[in-house]
Amino acid sequence: MLPGTGGTQRLARWSAKRGRSELMAKGELFSFDRAKELGIVNEIFPAKEFWEQVMLYAKQFCPPHKASKAVA
Q: What is the pLDDT along the chain (72 residues), one digit of tens a residue?
A: 555 666 666 666 665 555 566 777 777 788 999 888 887 788 899 999 999 999 998 888 777 767 766 665
- Domain hosting residue 66, numbered range: 44-72
Same structural domain for residues 49 and 65? yes
Instruction: Yes or no: say if 21 and 15 are a contact pair by the CB < 8 Å rule.
Output: yes
Same domain as 2, residue 32: yes
Helix or strand run (H / E) with residue 32: helix 32-38
H helical segments located in the chain: 7-17, 22-26, 32-38, 50-59, 68-71
Q: How many domains does the chain have?
A: 2
Together in a domain, 5 and 34:
yes
Looking at the structure, tell me whether residues 54 and 25 fall in a common domain: no
* pTM reported for the whole predicted model: 0.53
Please check whether residues 2 and 36 belong to one and the same domain. Answer: yes
